[in-house]
Amino acid sequence: MIVSGLVNVFTRDVQVALDFYQGVLGLPESFRTPAEGVPEHVEMRAGDFVLAVSTAEAASRVHGVTAETGHAAMSLVFWVDDVDATFDAATDAGAPAVTPPHDAGNNNRNAVVRDPDGTLVEFVAKRS
């Protein structure tokens, strides 16, 4: 029986990914390995959601998995307080804009950027 989970995004450069997810989006770190020096796996929390970033090299070395970065095979979706402000903070920090803030169905406001490795990152909030 599954009791919990996380999404693991592979990256070419952990520090650049952390600068985006921690520095720009403000996700707090909950775990890293190795504990000293440059990490190859870091977990962060957004409420009950756990996001990890791991080096593609570590995926190959530890698990025998060839991890490709920069392909939009999925998107990370974050519920935020203010889509426009979050989008502006991300793009001001250099995240490429994909879809600017717009009103969508279900009374939602959405926007999409790419993280430093090209993963789609969507911001969503209920319109007030």
Give the range of the structural domain holding residue 37, as residue numbers without chain letter.
Answer: 7-126
Q: Within a domain: residue 100?
A: yes
Q: Within a domain: residue 37?
A: yes
Q: Within a domain: residue 59?
A: yes
Give the global pTM.
0.87
Q: Within a domain: residue 2?
A: no
* 19-66 pLDDT, tens digit each: 999 999 999 999 999 999 999 999 999 999 999 999 999 988 888 888
We report the CATH number of the domain holding residue 122 as 3.10.180.10
- Tally of domains within the chain: 1
Instruction: Return the residue matching tokens 């921690």.
Output: 22
* 67-107 pLDDT, tens digit each: 888 777 678 999 999 999 999 999 999 999 999 999 998 89
Cα torsion at 125, 92, 46, 12 (round to 10°)? 130
What's the CA angle centered on 23, arms 20 and 27, to 5 degrees? 90
Which residue in 102, 100, 52, 101 sits closest to 76, CA to CA?
52
DSSP 7-54: EEEEES-HHHHHIIIIIIT-PPEEEEESSSSS-SEEEEEETTEEEEEE
